[in-house]
Structure 1
Amino acid sequence: MLSKVLPVLLGILLILQSRVEGPQTESKNEASSRDVVYGPQPQPLENQLLSEETKSTETETGRRVGKLPEASRILNTILSNYDHKLRPGIGEKPTVVTVEISVNSLGPLSILDMEYTIDIIFSQTWYDERLSYNDTFESLVLNGNVVSQLWIPDTFFRNSKRTHEHEITMPNQMVRIYKDGKVLYTIRMTIDAGCSLHMLRFPMDSHSCPLSFSSFSYPENEMIYKWENFKLEINEKNSWKLFQFDFTGVSNKTEIITTPVGDFMVMTIFFNVSRRFGYVAFQNYVPSSVTTMLSWVSFWIKTESAPARTSLGITSVLTMTTLGTFSRKNFPRVSYITALDFYIAICFVFCFCALLEFAVLNFLIYNQTKAHASPKLRHPRINSRAHARTRARSRACARQHQEAFVCQIVTTEGSDGEERPSCSAQQPPSPGSPEGPRSLCSKLACCEWCKGFKKYFCMVPDCEGSTWQQGRLCIHVYRLDNYSRVVFPVTFFFFNVLYWLVCLNL
């Protein structure tokens, strides 16, 4: 039974399957018969845009890939038979090198070491026919790794003390080769160069700091340097570290220096700077002037206040000594004096003279004169018997010698508190006494010694009330402070006027 049913069921399944697949195959065949198109089949718009972008990138990539092998081929060609040990035009003509300098920063300028620091970009241009080529490339830019394969001018800086080439992140060097054989070589470096400073007019001085360069091995007949209209680019926007100086400009000079190995062309740039006066004025001139004027306060202090006047004078002198030492602290040890040294020295002299004035006044008042309460006419005390003998001796002595009265200077205090001179009469000592003739002779000898001085000067009170001082300059000892109150400030004022006129007009 089962054997009869199974074949029937299999037949039914085959019939149903043939009916389901029949229409699908027919529709596929009809569609295929209807959509048969010869040539490129149309695509949707999005597919067209994608295909165009793909084609353009493929073409650009092809071009780039095409230029890179061409540039490599040019570089390999010009360097294949190139000898970097020989300069261009050797044996025919000198190599002309055009120089251009761009200053990144200038300073600081060290006065003590007499040197300055400068950061520059140094560019050199020359022609090398061996590097010329014919192609669509106008120029080839190469980094510092290729510099060793080319001939480079052996330029060195003659007055440099230290030179540093920057190498972060790569060596700061660049070579540009043009198709006509022109070569541009650029390098960045920091140089510590010497600068001879003439400090005679310090701090009103101006300096020209040179930067000299030349070829180390090629003389003038093989290498020539020149400026292209002296083009010097200065980047003033950068922070220059001149501090005490102002940059005033640049100048240049070209010269030929003769050496035992030949004549070399030397190019020199001068960086002109002038000192700013404000710092030195507040650090040196103002303290010196104030200290000098402070020493004049002693002229208004009483003569009896010796400790106050002495301490003020000594303090002023020591302060000027300290200021003079401080001004030379950060200064080169030159053998000549500067304008600032001269000013401080004159201020020191004024302070010392103010102290010396009190010493002279004190000596004249307390050592040359003897103070007395009041003038007296002194007579020796004698008894009646001796009085007759004294008269007889006096008459006998008067016949031989003229009678003389010795005027001894004593001081009395007036109503205004000022010491005034007065005179007291003394009888001369008797010739018989042991001190009489000798003391009289010593006084006469002293007067002869002072005769030359008193010929032109008369010092009150020694000559007050006399007639022989007419036509001479009278100097009142007790008014010496009054004279100093006027003479010192006026003299210092005229000194400052003359000093600044000379220093600012040199």
Structure 2
Amino acid sequence: MLAKVLLILLGTSVILPSRIEGPHVESEKAPSASDGDVYDPKSQAPEEKPSSEEIKPTATDTQDRLGKMPTATFILDSLFNNYDYKLRPGIGEKPTVVTVEISVNTLGPISILDMEYSIDITFCQTWYDERLRYDGSFESFVLNGNMVSQLWVPDTFFRNSKRTHEHSMTMPNQMVRIHKDGKVLYTIRMTIDVGCSLHMLKFPMDSHSCPLSFSSFSYPENEIIYKWDNFTLEINGNNSWKLFQFDFIGVTNTTETIATIAGDFVVLTLFFNVSRRFGFVAFQNYVPSSVTTMISWISFWIKRDSAPARTSLGITSVLTMTTLGTFSRKNFPRVSYVTALDFYIAICFVFCFCALMEFAVLNFLTYNRANPRGSPKLRHPRARARDFNRPRVRAIKHPDAFVCDIEDSEDSDEEEGPSCPARQSIKPCRAPRPGGCCRWCRKYLCVVPCCEGSMWQQGRLFIHIYRLDNYSRVIFPVTFFFFNVLYWLVCLNL
């Protein structure tokens, strides 16, 4: 019984390994039977080697291909590989020469009150950098503003600028062009508010030269030298300039060296020459001032008895000239000197004031001087005619007073005044009266309505007080005319 059991176990152990081993051998042989149905990386690896060798060139093949078709990326990478943008070209050997060219896009407006002007320019600088030389078929590379930070550029600043704005829409308006011989062109667009000292002495016939000065901020003359590109200045779009009250005359340039604490710096200055347009100021200031002065002369044709009318006209003219003088200084810098316009308005003010004072003098001499203190009140000639029924009334002499009555006379130009017997004498104003005219009046003035004496008496010019309006009608216009002639000849020829 035991022997049978041992035989069964022995037979089972022999059969089982043969069954397990059979399928394993078939799985190994299966791929060899059908090689095309199963992907084997090892078997296909030799077939991929030729394709990988074709893609990856050798050093010799790379140089041959670059000689035929240069790659811009390879050239730029080789240029900036060992480039140090912190050091200027030719450091320690020679100064860097920077050539400048300016293109003016917009000029103006010019602010008189702030003494500054605005300018929109495209600023171009050119220099040579030997570290940027390359060989290839590309003549130059144009790089945008993002590459500027990787290059050395001059630290140019505008010496008389107040505010500077660099345009950055839609990208920073900067451009760098690198040539194969190492020439670098750097261009940037900016708007600058520049200070301009305006000399307003001849205002409004003034002309100005507004400077634009620039230099290096940190590199002295032995490091950087600026120079003009044969003084190239492009002026674009004259019709779009915002000069308004000015006309563009031309442009000049200077190159100078300024000594400072940090060293001697080369400074380039560009002068924009402008002249003021006269039309606007003429209609705003000169015409109103002249017309107001002429209006004040109307009082000379108004009777002296109309005191309210003449006084109102004179005061209105003076106040109008005061307002015009204040208005002309409204948008004007507070300079300490008198301009040509201020002088003209001041003279017009004097003419208006003199027209007002002429009536005051006439009224004082004709009415107050005719009635000395302590003398009887003058009576109207009509009342005297009714009382005495006589066309003329003679002067009455008292031992202590000299009284003149008023009479109507055709020879007095329908003017009223004291009638004295002294008018027939050679010295009409020397009649003795207490509190009478002063010594100067007695020498040069005639206070009687009909002075029959000669105008020149004993080398003195006698002025008829009662004809002061007649004199003013001629003297004021003639004097103002000669003043204008002299004024415009001086202002336009300076």
TM-score (norm 1): 0.75
1:362 match: 363
Does the alignment pair 1:419 with 2:425? no
Structure-2 change in CA distance of 1:96 and 1:378 (3 Å): closer
Find the residue that maps to 1:497 and give its secondary structure: helix
In structure 2, what is the Cα distance between the partners aligned to 1:134 and 1:321?
77
CA deviation profile, 1:372-409 (whole Å, cap 9, x unmatched) = 325346599xxxxxxxxxxxxxxxxxxxxxxx796432
2:447 aligned with 1:460: yes
Q: Cα gap change, 1:327/1:499 in structure 2, threshold over 3 Å: closer, same or farther?
A: same
Instruction: Output the CA distance in 1 between the equivalents of 2:309 and 2:68.
Output: 94
> Partner residue of 1:145?
146
Give the 5 Å matches for 1:60-459. Answer: 70-370=71-371, 371-372=378-379, 373=381, 375-376=393-394, 407-415=402-410, 417-419=414-416, 421-423=418-420, 450-451=438-439, 454-455=442-443, 457-459=444-446
AA aligned opposite 2:263? G
Percent of matched pairs sharing the same residue: 75
1:118 and 1:452 map into 2 onto residues whose CA distance is 65
Deviations 1:290-341 (A, max 9, x none): 0000000000001111110000000000000000000000000000010000
- The answer to whether the Cα contact below 8 Å between 1:220 and 1:265 also exists between their aligned partners in 2 is yes
Give the partner amino acid of 1:500. Answer: W
List gaps (5 residues or longer) in structure 1: 1-63, 381-403, 426-442
Residue deviations 1:269-309, cap 9 Å, x none? 00000000000000000000000000000000011111100
| Aligned CA distance change for structure 1 residues 405 and 67 (closer, same or farther; 3 Å) | farther
- Structure 1 stretch 366-375 or stretch 304-313: which is displaced more? 366-375
Q: C-alpha displacement at 1:86, in angstroms?
A: 0.1
Q: Determine if contact 2:420/2:448 at 8 Å carries over to the other structure.
A: no
How far apart, in 1, do the equivalents of 2:226 and 2:397 lie?
Answer: 105
**Quick one: which of 456, 465, 480 aligns to 1:477?**
465
Mapped to 1, the partners of 2:134 and 2:470 lie a distance apart of: 94
Whether contact under 8 Å (2:99, 2:127) holds in the other structure is: yes
Measured after TM superposition, the shift of residue 475 of structure 1 is 1.1
What's the CA shift string for 1:426-463, capped at 9, x where partnerless? Answer: xxxxxxxxxxxxxxxxx77857x9335534x1323199
The one-letter amino acid of 2:448's match is P
> Aligned letter for 1:418?
E
Distance verdict in 2 for CA 1:74–1:466, change over 3 Å = closer
2:462 counterpart SS class:
strand
Provide the rounded CA distance (Å) in 2 between the counterparts of 1:377 and 1:235. 87
Structure 2 Cα separation of the partners of residues 237 and 342 of structure 1 = 35
Aligned length: 401
Contact 1:144–1:174 (8 Å) recurs in 2: yes
Task: Name the amino acid aligned to 2:154.
Answer: P
- Contact 1:296/1:485, CA 8 A, preserved across alignment: yes
Superposed displacement of residue 411, structure 1: 2.1
Contact map agreement 2:415 2:449 (CA 8 A) in 1? no
| Structure 2 residue identity aligned to 1:460 | V
Shift of 1:209: 0.3
2:442 partner letter: K
Deviations 1:116-149 (A, max 9, x none): 0000000000000000001110001100111000
Is the CA contact (8 Å cut-off) linking 1:460 and 1:474 kept in structure 2?
no
Q: Distance in 1 between matches of 2:489 and 2:359?
A: 32
Shift of 1:66: 11
CA RMSD of aligned residues (A): 2.5
Q: CA deviation digits over 1:243-274, x for unaligned, max 9?
A: 00000000001111111110000000000000
* 3-state SS of 1:284 partner: helix
1:47-77 CA-to-partner distances (Å, cap 9, x unmatched) read xxxxxxxxxxxxxxxxx99999710000000
Work out the CA distance in 1 between the residues paired with 2:397 and 2:317.
51
- Tell me what 2:49 maps to: none
Letter in 2 for 1:352: F
Q: Are the aligned partners of 1:105 and 1:238 in contact in 2 as well (CA < 8 Å)?
A: no
Aligned mates of 1:424, 1:278 — CA distance in 2: 59
* Partners of 1:247 and 1:272 within 8 A in 2: yes
Aligned to 2:27: none
TM-score by length of 2: 0.77
Offset at 1:480? 0.5
Amino acid at match of 1:504: L
Quick one: distance in 1 between partners of 2:457 and 2:406?
20
Q: Distance in 1 between matches of 2:192 and 2:297?
A: 52
Please say if residues 114 and 196 of structure 1, whose CA atoms lie closer than 8 Å, have aligned partners that are also in contact: yes
- What secondary structure sits across from 1:108 in the alignment? strand
Quote how far apart the aligned CAs of 1:473 are.
Answer: 1.3
Amino acid paired to 1:482: N
Structure 1 stretch 186-195 or stretch 67-76: which is displaced more? Answer: 67-76
How many Å separate the matches in 1 of 2:117 and 2:453? 72
Mapped to 1, the partners of 2:483 and 2:472 lie a distance apart of: 16
Contact 1:208/1:273 (8 A) holds in 2:
yes
Return the alpha-carbon distance in structure 2 between the equivalents of residues 349 and 338 of structure 1. Answer: 17
Query: 2:409 is aligned with what amino acid?
Result: G
Q: CA deviation at 1:366?
A: 1.1
Question: Following the alignment from structure 2 to structure 1, what is the Cα–Cα distance between the partners of residues 135 and 458?
Answer: 109
